[in-house]
Amino acid sequence: MTKPNTHYKELKDSYLFFGIAQKVNAYLEKNPGKRVLRLGIGDVTLPLCPAVIDALHKAVDDQSKKESFHGYMPECGDPALRECVHRYYAERGIALEKDEVFVSSGASDELGDILDLFDKDNTVLIMEPAYPAYVDANVIAGHRILHLPADKENGFLPMPDKAHKADLIYICSPNNPTGAVFSREQLKKWVDFAKEHETVILFDAAYEAFIEDETLPHSIFEIEGAKDCAIEICSLSKTAGFTGTRCGYTVIPKALERGGMNFNAMWVRNRTTKTNGVSYIIQRGAAAVFTPEGQRQIHENIRLYKENAAELMKVLDALGIWYCGGKNAPYIWMKCPDGMGSWEFFDFLLEKLQIVGTPGEGFGSCGEGFFRFSTFGNPDDTKEAARRLYEAFKK
Ligand code: PLP
């Protein structure tokens, strides 16, 4: 008999966004025509920038002519795009070899697939609150999971401890959902810890482009010693509006080895077996992100999202409500006012202020009592939500 992967039975129902949608729909059925301000889901709302659109159009035309047509692309990525990413790191003082960069269809795909590199008999450390895919991908892979809860006292940036006996460590910085960002000194402690325990760090840098405080690291490879203990997974989804276009990249240094096996070589083997590469058209669009014009244009979009963050932060500051994130990340993670629980605050916001956000508890139990606002929404809605919040909670 075919044996299914019974680990799927261990997955907890992902009721978070489904539960939110159900509550909002029920509210709108009872209150038709009410203007609901959506600051919940972390998808982008601004379109792809013109430099990317031009490159995509041109690539479509290339595919229409025999001389410029492309069939299968190299499995590990178009050398031209690998070169762009390589240069992007070099500009930040990180020297990589071009074949340490792999092009992907996005970070979610990689976060799941990368687990092929590790034996089932591994324990993973997941700092919580966390992007839900980390836990689910590891449950499916049959790994043991050690949950490391973060809290307000450590600014949602937990530090390593001897008790954390894990073989793989997830770090997401800037973090989803908290928006918190590890400093260089803090990341150095994690790198030292990983080296001491021969652990591998999976560093999710999906939000690196939102960092504006230049003292903060965008990449784990800015930290000395990280090349033999870390893999970095990055995405153009939030950086450049590629959520529906799909492209990202992963860096696996050649120095990264465990048990005499080389992870870069293993990943080449994995990709050449499991993919036939990302589409030519998409990779041409992605390469345009790294041109000077592309960089200027994507940062203009990021600036617009940051204006949303500024509106919300101004009001939370005025109300004296604790929060983190917003400045170097597209998320604001706030303490629910008046001792409310996460879902209680959700219901209050929906029913009294017609604002939708995301209850912190949905990202792990230590998120109870906290709430996430996404800054990817419509600017008028965000401004209006900030105004309603201020009116509701001013003393
Ligand atoms: N990593 C984090 C922390 C995210 O928040 C997200 C998306 O929200 C992803 C990865 C997935 O990104 P992608 O669209 O590239 O799959």
166-179 pLDDT tens trace: 999 999 999 999 99
Place of tokens 């870390």: 230
- Measured in Å, residue 221 CA sits from the centre of ligand 1 at 20
Q: What pLDDT score was predicted for residue 162?
A: 87
- CB distance 360 to ligand 1 below 6 Å: no
Q: Is 114 in the pocket of ligand 1 (CB under 6 A)?
A: no
**Is 122 a pocket residue for ligand 1 (Cβ < 6 Å)?**
no
Q: How far does the centroid of ligand 1 lie from the alpha carbon of residue 85, in Å?
A: 18
Q: Which of 16-20, 37-41, 246-250, 274-278 has the lowest mean pLDDT?
A: 16-20
Q: What pLDDT is recorded for position 139? A: 96
Peptide bond just before 337 cis, omega within 30 deg: no
Give the closest residue to 171 by CA, choosing from 139, 211, 128, 140: 128
pLDDT band at 14 (very low <50, low <70, confident <90, very high): confident
* Cβ pair 50, 57 in contact under 8 A: no
Total domains present in the chain: 2
pLDDT at 12: 86
312 in contact with ligand 1, CB cutoff 6 A: no
Beta carbons of 256 and 238 less than 8 angstroms apart: no
102 DSSP β-pair partners: 250
Distance CA 253, CA 230 (A): 8
* Residue 203, pLDDT score: 98
Token pair, residue 339, equals 């001792």
Q: Which residue, 214, 218, 219, 134, is CA-closest to 176?
A: 134
- As a whole number, mean pLDDT of residues 224-247 equals 98
Q: Give the closest residue (by CA) to ligand 1 atom 10.
A: 107
Residue 156 confidence (pLDDT)? 97
Mean pLDDT of 305-323: 98
Instruction: State both tokens at 332.
Output: 């604001």
User: From atom 2 of ligand 1, which residue's Cα is the shortest distance away?
Assistant: 206
Q: Last residue of some domain: 274, 290, 306?
A: 290
Do 234 and 308 lie in one domain? The reply is no
Q: Which residue has the tokens 């419509």?
A: 378
Residue 206 and residue 350 share a domain: no
When pLDDT is averaged across residues 218-237 and rounded to a whole number, the result is 98
**Residue 200 pLDDT:** 98
Q: Kindly state whether residues 286 and 304 are assigned to the same domain.
A: no
For residue 360, pLDDT over 90 is answered with yes
Q: Is residue 59 part of a domain?
A: no
User: Per residue in 31-52, is it b (16+ CB within 10 Å) or e — as a string?
Assistant: eeeeebbbbbebebbeebbebb
Which among 262, 290, 318 is the end of a domain?
290
What band does 19 get if pLDDT is binned at 50, 70 and 90?
Answer: confident
pLDDT at residue 41 in the model: 80
Rounded CA-CA distance 110/170 in Å is 13
Q: Is the CB of 248 under 6 A from ligand 1?
A: yes
Rounded-to-integer distance, Cα 285 and Cα 287, Å: 5
Distance 31 CA to ligand 1 centre (A): 33
* pLDDT tens digits for range 88-114: 999 999 999 999 999 999 999 999 999
- In this predicted model, what pLDDT tens digit does every residue of 287-300 receive, in sequence order? 999 999 999 999 99
Structural domain span for residue 182 = 68-290
Which one, of 88, 63, 110, lies nearest residue 279 by Cα?
63
Is residue 112 within 6 Å of ligand 1 at its C-beta?
Answer: no
Q: How far apart are the C-alpha atoms of 123 and 179, rounded to whole Å? A: 26
Test site for ligand 1: of 131, 207, 232, 236, most ligand atoms within 8 A of the Cβ: 131
> How crowded is the C-beta side of 262, counted as CA atoms within 13 Å?
8
Average pLDDT for the chain = 96
62 belongs to a structural domain? no
What is the reported pLDDT for 385? 98
Residues 16 and 157 in one domain: no
Q: Which residue has the tokens 């591998």?
A: 200
